[in-house]
Amino acid sequence: MAQRTPWWRGATFYHIYVRSWRDSNGDGIGDLTGVCQGLDYLQWIGTDAIWLSPTMPSPNTDWGYDVSDYRDVHPDLGTLADLDLLVEDANRRGIAVMLDLVPNHTSSAHPWFIDALSGRTATYRGYYVWAPPKADASPPNNWLDATGRSAWTYDPSSGESYLHNFLPTQPDLNWWDERVHEEFEQILRFWWDRGIAGFRIDVAHGLYKDALLRDNPPPSALDHPMLSRSALKPVYNSHRPEVHALYRRWRQIADGYQPARALLGETWEFDYERFGDFYGRDGDELNLAFNFPFVFSDLQSVSLAETVEATLAALPPGATPVWTASNHDVGRFPSRWCGGNERAVKAALAVLASLPGTVVLYYGDELGMLDVDVPPELRLDEMTILRPGREGRDRCRTPMPWSAAKNAGFTADGARPWLPIGEHGSINVQSEQADPASVLNFWHQLSLLRREGRLGALADVERLLLDDQIWAFAVGDVATVANLSDRAAKTKLGDIGTRTVLVSTGLSRHGQRVPEEVELEPWEVLILAPVAP
C-alpha cells in the first residue's frame, strides 16, 4: 500500500464500476481480472486506492446493491481467488483495494430473508423490520421507498409488512437486533483478514430506523433543494443518531489492523454539522465521508467556494475531507458540471486535485468521459425505470472507453457489452494518451503533484479572491486561481503573483512567473507555487 500515514489521507481514490471497466473474457461484462489488467493504467493516473462497486453475489435487481452472500464474489465478476490475486497485484504497486459493503439491506434472496419469510417465529425474522398494517389495511406508516412508493410490502402469510427503503427486493435490516451487529463484525473481519483495505459503506446514514416508526414530515422551504424535491423528509426511516455508536465500534475494529482499514461512508447528508458528525466529534468514527453538498453544488466560483468553506468549517479537527463530483448514482461531472466543455472539465479536475484531502475520481472522470444517453429499451436500472421523470442511472454506468475501436477496447469486438458503449469520439484512453493537451494528460500531471504531496496535503483553505468568475484559494504555500466561467477574466493577483505556474489549464504558462495583472481565459486555472530560492 502507499507510503502515507494513514494511507488514505490526501490519497487519490478511483471508483471502478466493475461491470463496466474492463472485460477479460469477452462476455460483455467487466470483471476482476479486467481490473488486474488495468493496474498499469491505474498506477499511471496516480491511484492510491480503488473502490470496487459491489462484488458480492446478487440477483442484480439493484446491480449488486442487493447482496445474497456477503462472503463471496459474484460469478459474473470472477471468483474469490481472482479477488485475492487482484489485492496482491494491486498492493505490490502501492494500490489499496476497497470493497463496497451494503449493511442497510440484503437481497430478498439472502438466506436470512428467506428464513424470515417463513413466519413470525423464524430464527432470522428479527433481522428485518416488520410491522402490521393499519386497521384500514394501509401500510404501517407513510415512509416511501426510493421509487416513491410505500416502503412497506405486505406479507400475507404472516400478516405483517416488511420495510424496504429501496426496492421491495432489498429488505432493510433491523440494526436494533444485536445479532445483526455480530454478523457484520464477522463480515468486516472476513474481508479485512484477506487484505481488503477498507469499505465504502452504502447508505451509511441510514442503518437505524426510528424505533417508534413515526411518520416522516414534509420538507420545509429551508431544506436543501435535494430534500425539498422529495414528498417527505427522511428523518425517521433513516438519519437516526444511533448509527454513530456503530461506527465507533467499527472504527475500533478497523484500527486493530495493520495498516488500519478505512471506513468511507456514503453519507447522504445536507446539513453540514450532521455531516461532520460522521467523522466522530472525537475523530473516532468514519475516516472519510462523501460530501454530497459538494457533489450537488455548481461549478461556479461563489457556489463552490461557499460549499467548500462550509464543509471545512463543519468538520472536526484533523478530519480528512473527501472531494468527489461523479458517481454511479448522480452522473458524471463532465456532463453535469461542464456540459461537455473540455476546458471546464480541466478546471474542475484542477480544483478537485488542489483541495486538501482525499479525492475520489469515478472511472472516466480522468478522460472527461460523458454520460451516455441510453435508450429506454436498453435501460437496466429498475430503480429509475420505476421512477419516470428522474434521470436514469444507466447513463453513468456505461463501459469505459479504452480506445476508438469497436466496443471501445472494453470487450472483444464480437461481444455484446451489457450496457451500450455510446459515442465517445476521441474521449478514450488511447487517443488521450497520445495527445499532450488531453484531459487525461492534464490529470496525469496533477496526479504527480498529488503524489509528491504538493497538492492534497491537509491544510486550511484560505480564500484569496472571490467574485462571480474567479475563486482563488491557498492551501499551504500553493495557490489555485480558477476562472470558473466561460468569459475571460482580468484580475490583479498581487502577492499571489510572486509565484510560478506549476500547472495551468492552457499549456502555455508552465514554469512562468505571472504578471501582477493577469487575464485568464475562460475556465483557465493556474496552480502557483513560490519561486524556488
Shortest reach from residue 19's CB to Ca ion, in Å: 8
Shortest reach from residue 69's CB to ligand GLC, in Å: 16
Q: What is d(CA 442, CA 516) in angstroms, rounded to the nearest whole number?
A: 26
Judging by beta carbons within 10 Å of its beta carbon (0-12, 13-18, 19+), is residue 151 exposed, middle or buried?
buried
Q: What is the DSSP letter of 72?
A: S
Per CB under 6 A, residues contacting ligand GLC are: 62, 65, 102, 166, 202-203, 266, 328-329, 383
Which of ligand GLC, Ca ion, none is residue 247 near (CB under 5 to 8 Å by kind)?
none
List the one residue out of 65, 68, 70 whose CA is nearest residue 18. Answer: 65
* Residue 273 falls in the annotated catalytic set: no
Q: What is d(CA 149, CA 43) in angstroms, rounded to the nearest whole number?
A: 44
Nearer to ligand GLC, 167 or 347 (CB): 167
Beta strand ranges found along 447-532 (DSSP E): 461-466, 470-475, 478-483, 489-492, 499-504, 517-520, 525-530
List the one residue out of 449, 443, 442, 511 whose CA is nearest residue 476. Answer: 449
- First-to-last C-alpha distance (Å) of the chain: 34
C-alpha cell at position 531: 519561486
- The CA-based angle 124-125-128, given to 5 degrees, is 100
Nearer to ligand GLC, 64 or 219 (CB): 64
Q: What is d(CA 430, CA 409) in angstroms, rounded to the nearest whole number?
A: 9
Which of ligand GLC, Ca ion, none is residue 329 near (CB under 5 to 8 Å by kind)?
ligand GLC
Nearer to ligand GLC, 206 or 399 (CB): 206
Nearer to ligand GLC, 207 or 355 (CB): 207
Q: What is d(CA 46, CA 14) in angstroms, rounded to the nearest whole number?
A: 9
Shortest reach from residue 166's CB to ligand GLC, in Å: 4
Nearer to ligand GLC, 55 or 491 (CB): 55
- One DSSP character per residue, 343-394 reads HHHHHHHHHHHHSSSEEEEETTGGGTPPP----GGG---HHHHTSTTSPPSG
Which of ligand GLC, Ca ion, none is residue 348 near (CB under 5 to 8 Å by kind)?
none
List the one residue out of 395, 390, 339 whose CA is nearest residue 372. Answer: 395
The distance from CA 299 to its chain's CA centroid, rounded to whole angstroms, is 18
Q: What residues form DSSP beta bridges with 98?
A: 51, 198
- Helix, strand, coil percentages in the chain from 3-state DSSP, rounded to 5: 30, 15, 55
Nearer to ligand GLC, 202 or 365 (CB): 202
CB atoms within 10 A of CB 462: 11
The distance from CA 93 to its chain's CA centroid, rounded to whole angstroms, is 23
Catalytic residue among 202, 366, 381, 394: 202
CB atoms within 10 A of CB 46: 22
Beta strand ranges found along 91-190 (DSSP E): 96-101, 130-131, 152-155, 160-163
Shortest reach from residue 232's CB to ligand GLC, in Å: 17
Shortest reach from residue 411's CB to Ca ion, in Å: 7
Q: Which residue in the shown chain puts its C-beta closest to ligand GLC?
A: 65
Which of Ca ion, ligand GLC, none is residue 29 near (CB under 5 to 8 Å by kind)?
Ca ion
Which of Ca ion, ligand GLC, none is residue 31 near (CB under 5 to 8 Å by kind)?
Ca ion
Nearer to ligand GLC, 82 or 266 (CB): 266
Shortest reach from residue 274's CB to ligand GLC, in Å: 17
Task: Tell me: does residue 186 bind Ca ion (CB under 5 A).
Answer: no
Helix axes 342-354, 439-451, angle to 10 degrees: 10
Shortest reach from residue 389's CB to ligand GLC, in Å: 18
The distance from CA 314 to its chain's CA centroid, rounded to whole angstroms, is 20
Which of Ca ion, ligand GLC, none is residue 27 near (CB under 5 to 8 Å by kind)?
Ca ion
On whether the CB atoms of residues 87 and 39 are closer than 8 A, the answer is no
The distance from CA 365 to its chain's CA centroid, rounded to whole angstroms, is 12
* Residue 266 falls in the annotated catalytic set: yes
Catalytic residue among 23, 266, 269, 285: 266
Nearer to ligand GLC, 203 or 528 (CB): 203
- Type of residue at 187: I
Q: In the range 4-63, which residues lie near Ca ion by CB under 5 A?
A: 23, 25, 27, 29, 31
Shortest reach from residue 63's CB to ligand GLC, in Å: 7
Shortest reach from residue 224's CB to ligand GLC, in Å: 17
Nearer to ligand GLC, 195 or 293 (CB): 293
CB atoms within 10 A of CB 273: 10
3-class DSSP assignment, residue 422: coil
Which of Ca ion, ligand GLC, none is residue 243 near (CB under 5 to 8 Å by kind)?
none
Nearer to Ca ion, 25 or 498 (CB): 25
What's the alpha-carbon Rg for the chain, to the nearest Å? Answer: 23
Contacting positions for Ca ion (CB under 5 A): 23, 25, 27, 29, 31
- List the catalytic residues: 202, 266
